[in-house]
Amino acid sequence: MKPTTMLAAAIGLFAGLAISAQAIAGQTNIAVAANFTDAAKEIAAAFKAKTGHDALLSFGATGALYTQITQEAPFEILLSADAEHPKKATDKGLGVTDSLFTYAIGKLVLWSKNPDLVKGDETLKGGGFTKLSIANPALAPYGAAAVETLKALKLDEAMQPKIVQGNSIAQTLQFIDTGNAELGFIALSQLTGKSEGSRWVVPQTLHKPIRQDAVLLKKGASNEAAASFMTFLKGAEARAIIGKYGYAIDSQS
């Protein structure tokens, strides 16, 4: 074969492969609340193994992701850290109404790298620290839950000068991880596989339940890969992963 024919054959072969691969495997863009990062990665891998579809994940604070969605961001699914933003999305006609469901219930945890610091709410009352890291309550539901917890403990005013805000729950953890804040409120899921430090899982009675809802967005309404991901997320395999990362699972949905 002449080199040019070979090249043409190769191009033809690759094009053919690409087209056939596309016919089987689709892809879907998913906006994921930062607290669900690790679980979402594992679910996406399992989803790929089972269906062949690619789930492309973008992480951020729920409020930030939502703002992007209102401005036509190419997301097809929102895995929110709350129930409020997915509902707002469907109210505004950005989401598919009957696709809403609670995929996880988050747990808030007070965590420090120092193994002796966090003993319970008395640690907060004792005030033996200079900086308490929380997520921006206006953007991140775990931040709002942290503020509710401080209010329930009547510590919100006392803590005010010590609070530093991460832009998302991921940045909140980063502040603690780098030692810049001694402790902070983060998602229990972020501590999966971490046994170091000291922690206090905040009782669910101190804040409103952190119901994390998923919604299929209008942009993904006709994408089979997106619909397939929503189904997968409700299935036993995904639920096992979600449970493993420290979330409770809603029994109703």
Per CB under 8 A, residues contacting another protein are 61, 63-64, 67, 70, 130-131, 133, 136, 138-139, 163-167, 171, 174-175, 178-182
DSSP letter, residue 140:
-
Closest to 129 measured CA to CA, from 168, 163, 165: 163
* Min dist. Cβ of residue 108 to another protein (A): 19
167 vs 228, which CB is nearer to another protein? 167
Residues 6+ apart with CB under 8 A from 166: 133, 134, 135, 136, 140, 143, 172, 173, 174, 175, 184
* Min dist. Cβ of residue 147 to another protein (A): 14
51 vs 190, which CB is nearer to another protein? 190
Main-chain phi, psi angles of 178, to 5 degrees? -85, 0
* Min dist. Cβ of residue 168 to another protein (A): 10
139 vs 225, which CB is nearer to another protein? 139
64 vs 105, which CB is nearer to another protein? 64
Main-chain phi, psi angles of 83, to 5 degrees? -95, -20
* Min dist. Cβ of residue 180 to another protein (A): 4
The structure tokens 């036509």 sit at 72
65 vs 241, which CB is nearer to another protein? 65
* Min dist. Cβ of residue 116 to another protein (A): 16
- C-alpha distances out from residue 118 to 80, 175, 188, Å: 28, 16, 14
89 vs 241, which CB is nearer to another protein? 89
* Min dist. Cβ of residue 131 to another protein (A): 6
List the beta bridge partners of residue 55. 28
- C-alpha distances out from residue 218 to 24, 31, 59, 91, 94, Å: 22, 13, 19, 12, 5
121 vs 182, which CB is nearer to another protein? 182
Closest to 152 measured CA to CA, from 206, 77, 98, 209: 206
* Min dist. Cβ of residue 65 to another protein (A): 9
Beta strands 210-216 and 77-79, pairing class = antiparallel
